[in-house]
Structure 1
Amino acid sequence: MLMALAARPVAAQVDTAAAAVSAPVVAPRAPLVVGAYAQGSIILAHTYAIRHLVASHPTGFELNFQRQTTGSAPWHGWYKYPKVGVALTYYDFHNPVLGYVWSASPYISKSFSRGPKHDFSFRLGAGLAYLSNPYNQDTNHKNTIASSALNATLQFRFEYDYALTPHLGLLAGVGLNHYSNGATTKPNFGVNLPSVVLGLNYHEQRHAPQTNAHAPAPAELCHNFFNFSTSLGFKQRTEGDRHKYLVNSVTAAVGRRVNRKSNLLAGVEGFYDRSLQAQLEDTTRAGLTQPDVKKVGAFVGHELLFGRLAFVSHLGFYVYAPYKSSTAYYERLGLKYHFTNLLFGAIDLKIHRGAADVIEFKVGARL
């Protein structure tokens, strides 16, 4: 009897230890970082059509909120615990033709070097922007940068944060802000603002504990898959033609998860751009046969993976294009999100030789 009673605490300790071993590792709470920065820029004259606007030095202010990842998802450890956040930015162009711009940009920030008192990182973000003075043929015809108030924005930035106190950091950075409507309306030459940044960061906890540094590889590593998708977009043909023409595409691709961070893809797709039909009707002599405006392309691509989110880049070549309306190749940059293991959505910018062609809104399935 005494031996049985003595064995019970030992058994309880063994059960408790086993439970502790089998319990999943819980990641610590992601601490908040709040930043406030001043920005100074120049307007980059990337095309002759906007050189008349390169006469001022835009200045701006940014407020951002970011979280330091701590290992709650496997990809946190794969990317050495990046920060994710959203930036709210205001720019004054100091030019009555251009006015000002407000933007909101979700972003991810990847550290290259992180120490007790410093953090050197690269930031990539994309979002939406509101321009106060878009092109108007009657009242603001000099603004060839953008002809719509709503635009897309891209941000690239190198940042260096130096700890002044355990919670306060001095941040300096250099980067580029881009605003464009993706040729949804014209003119749309877009604007590029190389910028210098200086400000302060408040760190709720500068060196947060991190878990799952060696998270296991995903189950689909080295597995093949198939993507099938369709998209639509709208574009304006010329400044004089205010009609928005529908652009469709269908895509079939095969892909492979080659490592923890990347998918490689190859596929074919068909395009139907109705603005090309309108262009042909304006330029083809009466009685002549018009070429087919439909196009077929073959592409290779890469997806940089962040959990359910992916940054997409494609390079394609037209293998069927009777109407030679553009270059023989095209590029695509975009963001893709998997709502489930089967269904995904994406927003892509299709490009011809650096010039935006159309913004595509895509839905698809992965098999």
Structure 2
Amino acid sequence: MELNLQRQTNGSEPWHAWYRYPKVGLALVYYDYHNPMLGRSYAATAYINKSFWRTRRQELNFRIGTGVGYFPVRYNPDTNHKNTIVSSALNATIQTRLEYDVALTQHLGLLLGLGLNHYSNGATTKPNFGVNLPTVVLGLNYHQQRPFRPLSTAPPPEPTDIGHTFWNLSSSVGWKQRNTTDHRRYWVNSVTLAVGRRINRKSSLVVGAEGFYDRSLLAQIQDTAQADSRLPDVKKAGVHVGHELLFGRLAFVSHLGVYVYNPYKSNNFYYERLGLKYHFTNRVFGSVDLKVHGGSADVVECRVGVRL
């Protein structure tokens, strides 16, 4: 079951018109898995809902959101050792959905959809195979106003920083569990220097260099190394290229990087990063990122930085 509260953007911010007036909302999601190993889950997801086709009575939308999920039943080596799917109470969630809405009355609409809900803790605790739920949606929408009417039909102003170059200096912290037998949490840090350029109303491109220090790798080496052997350096350095999809102060971040210094080959030579970035001021920003190696979560990074 799911309860949604969503607001139709109306042109009060320039980016509303650039994306053809999407909806933004909050979803409260409940699942009963009918399986004692998994139990139930509860989630809160913030999302954006983009219309691809809209008439007076019908809408076709694509929705994507992210938030936090709670699982009361999870992995326990003594009482629930078969649950290799969920090992922590709190998990990140990603929700995608294709929706069709058709008016039944002036305010009531029938909602049909196909979606995917994903839950994972980003390897902060293991085991962590995660949950993927393909979903068929049937529901009702209440529209306060239909059809939609923007505040103004005048073209929104262009951003003043298109074509401008900027620098970002940031640092991140995360923590992870090494395996199911070692219950300690290990800190993971990074420092990043990136240069970017806003190329249009919706996008910025970035190129950066960064260093990583994952303390779980040091513990991993020490478990297997001989007493008199020289341990390889677990620090890593990489370069990345990336894209930022802009929604006012908020941005969806995607990076692809390669390691240029990697003495301890604990993973692939490349990495990916997906995240949400928010500018608190024109200079200061924060983000929550998921760093991934070949589709397998490595660490959730909590990042703060300055724009120069």
TM over 0.5: yes
1-structure distance, mates of 2:230, 2:147:
69
Instruction: Note the alpha carbon deviations across 1:167-194, whole angstroms, 9 max, x for none.
Output: 0000000010000000000000111001
Query: Out of 296, 307, 310, which is 2:237 matched to?
Result: 296
Q: In the alignment, which residue of structure 1 is the partner of 2:92?
A: 152
Which one has the largest radius of gyration?
A: 1
**Aligned residue runs from structure 1 range 119-158, under 5 A:** 119-158=59-98
Q: In the alignment, which residue of structure 1 is the partner of 2:43?
A: 103
**Could you say what the CA RMSD is over the residues aligned between the two structures, in angstroms?**
0.7
2-structure distance, mates of 1:193, 1:259:
35
Contact 1:227–1:253 (Cα < 8 Å) also in 2: yes
Identity across aligned pairs (percent)?
A: 66
- State the shift of 1:283 in Å: 1.2
2-structure distance, mates of 1:173, 1:305:
26
Query: Out of 150, 164, 181, which is 1:223 matched to?
Result: 164
Task: Read off the aligned partner of 2:271 and give its amino acid letter.
Answer: Y
Task: Read off the aligned partner of 1:357 and give its amino acid letter.
Answer: D
Q: In the alignment, which residue of structure 1 is the partner of 2:220?
A: 279
1-structure distance, mates of 2:214, 2:146:
51
1-structure distance, mates of 2:154, 2:288:
31
Count of residue correspondences: 307
1:197 aligned to 2:137? yes
Q: In the alignment, which residue of structure 2 is the partner of 1:308?
A: 249
Contact 2:47–2:64 (Cα < 8 Å) also in 1: yes
TM (normalized to structure 1)? Answer: 0.83
Q: In the alignment, which residue of structure 1 is the partner of 2:305?
A: 364
Task: Read off the aligned partner of 2:208 and give its amino acid letter.
Answer: G
2-structure distance, mates of 1:66, 1:197:
17
**Aligned residue runs from structure 1 range 1-20, under 5 A:** none
Q: In the alignment, which residue of structure 1 is the partner of 2:17?
A: 77
Instruction: Note the alpha carbon deviations across 1:211-245, whole angstroms, 9 max, x for none.
Output: 25521210000100000000000000010000000
Task: Read off the aligned partner of 1:197 and give its amino acid letter.
Answer: V
2-structure distance, mates of 1:190, 1:133:
13
Q: In the alignment, which residue of structure 2 is the partner of 1:42?
A: none
> Structure 1 runs of 4+ off > 3 angstroms?
none
Query: Out of 263, 267, 271, which is 1:322 matched to?
Result: 263
SS at match of 2:219: helix
CA, structure 1 residues 212+297, in 2 after alignment: closer, same or farther (shift >3 Å)? farther
**Aligned residue runs from structure 1 range 5-84, under 5 A:** 61-84=1-24
1:89 aligned to 2:29? yes
SS at match of 1:293: coil
- State the shift of 1:209 in Å: 2.1
Task: Read off the aligned partner of 1:337 and give its amino acid letter.
Answer: Y
Task: Read off the aligned partner of 1:256 and give its amino acid letter.
Answer: R
Q: In the alignment, which residue of structure 2 is the partner of 1:174?
A: 114
Query: Out of 127, 131, 146, which is 1:187 matched to?
Result: 127
Q: Which has the higher strand share?
A: 2
- State the shift of 1:208 in Å: 3.1
1:353 aligned to 2:299? no
Task: Read off the aligned partner of 1:247 and give its amino acid letter.
Answer: V
Task: Read off the aligned partner of 1:338 and give its amino acid letter.
Answer: H
**Aligned residue runs from structure 1 range 246-285, under 5 A:** 246-285=187-226
Structure 2 alignment gaps of length 5 or more:
none
Instruction: Note the alpha carbon deviations across 1:280-323, whole angstroms, 9 max, x for none.
Output: 00011221111000000000000000000000000000000000
Contact 1:74–1:212 (Cα < 8 Å) also in 2: no
Task: Read off the aligned partner of 1:343 and give its amino acid letter.
Answer: V
Contact 1:77–1:213 (Cα < 8 Å) also in 2: no
Contact 2:237–2:261 (Cα < 8 Å) also in 1: yes
TM (normalized to structure 2)? Answer: 0.99
Task: Read off the aligned partner of 1:194 and give its amino acid letter.
Answer: P
- State the shift of 1:207 in Å: 2.1
2-structure distance, mates of 1:343, 1:197:
39
SS at match of 1:76: helix
2-structure distance, mates of 1:244, 1:78:
43
Instruction: Note the alpha carbon deviations across 1:154-175, whole angstroms, 9 max, x for none.
Output: 0010000001111000000001
